[in-house]
Structure formats: C-alpha cells, structure tokens
Amino acid sequence: MPATSLTPSYKHPDGRPIWLRYGVAVLCVILATLARAALTPTIGPTALPFIFFFPLIALATWYGGFAPGLVATLLACVATIWFFFEPDPGFGIRLPDRWALAAFVTAALVIVGAIEMMHRAKGDLIQSHDQLSTTLASIGDGVIVADAQGRVLFLNPVAERLTRWSSSEARGQPVAAVFRIINEDTRHPVDDPIQKVLRLGTTVGLANHTLLVAKDGTEIPVEDSGAPILRPGGILFGAILVFRDSSEQRKSAGARARLAVIVENSEDVILSKNLDGTILTWNAAAERMFGYRAEEIVGKPVTTLIPPELQQEEAEILGRLRRGLSS
C-alpha cells in the first residue's frame, strides 16, 4: 500500500521549465505596461509609472523564482523609461525620475528577495514534513497521527492494514472511530488512548488483553503507546499513537507457557544450562532426583551435580559447544 504524506509535496519554481518561468516574467511586464498605458488618457503619460509593475513583478517572482523576478524588474525599468518618463534632452532621464527609478528598483528587489525567502522557507518546511512522513510510513508498527481535537491526520501503511481504513478515508474522523478497541475478556470498549494523551499531556499505554476491532470486524490483539506532539514552548499540537499486532507474541508466550508446564510436570529430569555451565532451569523431577530445590541450584555450576572424575569430560563438552561443535 503506498505511503500517504502528512502534507502535499512542494515544488520550488526552479523546478518549472526555464522557458516558462522567463516567459511568464516577460508576459507580466508586457501586461503591466499595457495596463499602465490604458490609464494614460485619464492620468497622463508620466503619472504613476510603476503602479502595475509592482504586483506583476511579485507574480513573476512567485511563479518563476528569483532570477525571473530580477529579469522582470530590469524589463520594467526599460519599459518605464521608454514609455512613461518625460525625456531630458541633456541627460536622458530627469533627476526626479532617476530618484523615482532608484526607489522602484529598491522596492522591487525587496519584493523579489522576500518572495524568494518565502519559497525557500516553504520548501524547507515541506521537505522536513516529507521526511517525517516517509519515516512514519517506513516504521514497522502502525502509526496514527491526530490533531489537538483527536481527529485523524495520518495513517501509515501498517495502520491502514491493521485498521482496514485508508488514510484518505480516516482523515478527519475521530480516532476512536478508526482505532476501535475493546477488552478481550469483558468485551467492553476501552478508552481512546489519544483522548487520554490529549487530556493528560503525557505518554500512555494500553492495558493488557486489548483487541483492535478493524473496519471489517476483524479482531486483532494489539499493544500500543500514545504520546503528545508539542510545538515549541510546550503548546499541544496533537498526539501520535504507535501500535503493533501482538498475535505472534501471544502465540509465542502461550507456547512457552505450555512448554514450561510440560517441563515442570515431566517425570524425566530436565534442566538447562548456558555455555559457561551455569544451571538456568530445574524441574520437579530434577529436584526429586538430586535433592536440590530450584532456588538452591539455579545459578550454580552444573559440575555441582557431576562426580569429580567426570568433571573434565563436562568441561570438554562445554568447550565443544562453545566452538559450535556437536557434543
């Protein structure tokens, strides 16, 4: 199942075709020039020469990025000098117009720089969000992210598989509707862990014997923990729930328990030791045969049980086992 992003990916203007970026910049200058020319019958040929260039330079920078914004600024200066400045026979541009042009260029550069900084900040933010989304999607446990009201923002693929909800279907739903859990023994609903996290502001875990009731009615034993998501300054932003299918762990635990019962009640002597020869387990038959209770012998060397004349043989057997050879 494909990973679902917490936020849409962001494309910087530099990722657009270069001809399109610069073409839009040129088009913006042409439109600004035509719009200002349309005002000439009303306000005259030289009043408010830059009135339409500011917003369209901003548009060119927003769409094309920093360099097309600079190109739009340069072309705007040329268009203004050519069409909307009164020529000075001596110096080409009158002194008041030079100051106005310098002020325009300064303001335009501020606009271009500010928009470029906005693009970079947004790109960095979206990149960090995408990295977080990818990380959450790659985790082997189920992950549900909720907002401060307990509504689902995101499910990773494991959570989608366990709950049978897609992330798009679950988004905006109360977590309790998507992550529906009951007590395995009583069949009573279990409190929503996300609401508990939001209420207490601390990490919480599920009690034992909890079943997740998936969207299709499938019941899955789960273990989970929830934690708050805090903004800088400790302001609560939401909560995250991490859970896993504990079916295999329960099967393994059940198998170990059954094996322990078999060993304990066997009529045969059964004990275990590590590769250092230390006794680890001791059943009732061993207690009857050797006379040691488990609390007396566990942790002692197995040579305690072996006659002195056979202890060298036991040391050789342990050595072979440590080397990975058959005894």
In the numeric block, which tokens belong to residue 117?
Answer: 């900084």
- Residue 49: closest CA among 92, 6, 86: 86
Whether the model pTM is above 0.85:
no
> Measured between alpha carbons, how far is 146 from 195 in angstroms, rounded to an integer?
10
Q: Determine which of 110-119, 245-254, 278-287 has the lowest per-residue pLDDT on average.
A: 245-254
| Closest of 212, 64, 56, 48 to residue 144, by C-alpha | 212
The DSSP code sequence of 155-196 is: E-HHHHHHH---HHHHTTSBHHHHSEEEETTT-PBPPPHHHH
93 compared with 72, residue with greater pLDDT? 72
Confidence at residue 77, expressed as pLDDT on a 0 to 100 scale: 93
Read off the pLDDT of residues 43-71 as tens digits, 9 standing for 90 and up.
888 888 899 999 999 999 999 999 999 99
What is the spatial distance between Cα 73 and Cα 132, in angstroms, rounded to a whole number? 38
Is it the case that residue 309 has pLDDT exceeding 70?
A: yes
Strand-pairing partners, residue 210, are 183
Per-residue pLDDT tens for 127-164? 776 776 777 777 788 999 999 999 999 899 999 999 99
Pick among 3.20.20.450, 3.40.50.1360, 3.30.450.20, 3.90.1330.10: CATH of 266-322 = 3.30.450.20
User: The tokens of 293 are what?
Assistant: 């209770």
Same fold flag, 140-245 and 266-322: yes
Query: What is the rounded average pLDDT of the residues 291-313?
Result: 85
pLDDT tens digits, 166-189: 988 999 999 999 999 998 888 999
Structure tokens at 99: 């100051």
Q: Write down the number of H helices and E strands in the chain.
A: 13, 11
| Domain segments of the chain as ranges | 13-135, 140-245, 266-322
Secondary-structure class of domain 140-245 per CATH: alpha beta
Distance CA 247, CA 211 (A): 10
Half-sphere exposure of 109 (CA within 13 A, CB side): 8
| CA nearest to 92, candidates 107, 106, 77, 82 | 82
CB-side exposure of 95: number of CA atoms within 13 Å?
0
